[in-house]
Amino acid sequence: MVETAKIKIRKKEQSSLPQVDFSNIVFGRVFSDHMFVADYRDGEWEDLRIEPYEAMQLTPGLISLHYAQTIFEGLKAYKNDKGDVMVFRPEMNLKRLNISAERMCMPQLPEDIYMQGLSELLRLDRNWVPNLPNTALYIRPFMFGTDEYIGLKSSETYRFIIFTCPVGAYYSKPVKVKFERHFTRAAKGGTGFAKTGGNYAGSLYPAKLAQEKGYDQLIWTDGIEHEYVEEAGTMNIMFVIGDTLITPHPGDSVLKGITRDSVLTLARDWGMKVEERRIKTSEIVEAIKNNTLKEAFGVGTAATIAHISLIADDETDYPLPPVESREFSNKALKALDDIKTGVTEDKFNWIYKL
């Protein structure tokens, strides 16, 4: 790793760790003691520091609060049986953060600042990395414009932060989803491939309407014909039809998920047939009707693999095969867990050990 300017560290006086019940953690509600912060001014990242996780003073005129020049990432750290902290594919998140930054007209974050900030933060808060089954330390790097300016232009100053949260399961049970044929998550030529706040804000209202009808999330379809499957809620989506793993090709309206890439890599390594291509909603309904659809699941960092128990098309609900019968997704979930916690060899070089 390249040495960067020294990171100043201001420790929290009293850790909040004793108040955390690791056997009962709600996703995204518990925050570790510290955060890494860097500020961008005059074309340079500077003032690298680790400080207590706490409220920040922000001006009401903060440009990103108005025009959403914000990007974020999500990755996870685990512990192996020796207590070493293992981070899953952190370099992939930096790559995607910088792809998002380019699309949103924001500065690139250099690898040395990201890796050094992340490593120092995890070293300091290593006791926050849980080791119970189905738990992890969720890591949230993000960047936002910090100019005080009311008018549309890209900010000249930015803040980059990494904070962490010990988490349990994102979904407590398999999810019921519905094809969304009216609203659009991301348009061709839009920002769907970037991990930017606005994509998520725009998805809330359609998801709320689906939840009012008893579904957990939506299967987003393309913004032109609403005929082709794109994502499931905040995750990528995969199907096993016959003996083939099928997932939408990541164009500019689909986020290129790191869990997606990991699951596809495992499937190919196991000799499974894999297709990344356009998938019509009618193909899925046909496969359910003729019993060739064996599995459907979402893949993402927060949930890892979220089994889909039911897909609705217009007014018809189609229950899917029981989760226990799903050979591929159960095997992939176990394989990922075993790699992340050091139970099996890291043959793809996915783990960054602190």
Where does this chain bind ligand COI (CB under 6 A)?
74, 234, 300-302
Smaller CB distance to ligand COI: residue 93 or 281? 93
Least distance (Å) between residue 28 CB and ligand COI: 7
Smaller CB distance to ligand COI: residue 79 or 96? 96
Least distance (Å) between residue 100 CB and ligand COI: 12
C-alpha closest to that of 276 among 297, 256, 291: 256
Smaller CB distance to ligand COI: residue 72 or 318? 72
Smaller CB distance to ligand COI: residue 265 or 282? 265
Smaller CB distance to ligand COI: residue 74 or 110? 74
Least distance (Å) between residue 85 CB and ligand COI: 19
- Residue 311: count other Cβ atoms within 10 Å of its Cβ: 25
Least distance (Å) between residue 326 CB and ligand COI: 20
| Residue at shortest CB range from ligand COI | 74
Least distance (Å) between residue 239 CB and ligand COI: 19
Smaller CB distance to ligand COI: residue 7 or 167? 167
Least distance (Å) between residue 101 CB and ligand COI: 16
Smaller CB distance to ligand COI: residue 205 or 270? 205
Least distance (Å) between residue 21 CB and ligand COI: 21
249-260 CB burial, b ≥16 within 10 A, e <16: ebeebbbebbbb
Least distance (Å) between residue 293 CB and ligand COI: 24
Smaller CB distance to ligand COI: residue 149 or 170? 170
SS3 readout for the chain: CCCCCCCEECCCCCCCHHHCCCCCCCCCCCCCCEEEEEEEECCEEEEEEEEECCCCCCCCCEHHHHHCCEEECCEEEEECCCCCEEEECHHHHHHHHHHHHHHCCCCCCCHHHHHHHHHHHHHHCHHHCCCCCCCEEEEEEEEEECCECCCCCCCCCEEEEEEEEEECCCCCCCEEEEEECCCCCCCCCCCCCCCEHHHHHHHHHHHHHHHHCCCCEEEEECCCCCCEEEEECCEEEEEEECCEEEECCCCCCCCCCHHHHHHHHHHHHCCCEEEECCCEHHHHHHHHHCCCEEEEEEEECCCEEEEEEEEEECCEEEECCCHHHCHHHHHHHHHHHHHHCCCCCCCCCCEEEC
Least distance (Å) between residue 92 CB and ligand COI: 12
How far apart CA 330 and CA 179 sit, in angstroms, is 24
Do 45 and 160 contact (CB within 8 A), yes or no?
yes
Smaller CB distance to ligand COI: residue 48 or 333? 333
Query: For 135, how many CA atoms within 13 A lie in the half-sphere containing its CB?
Result: 18
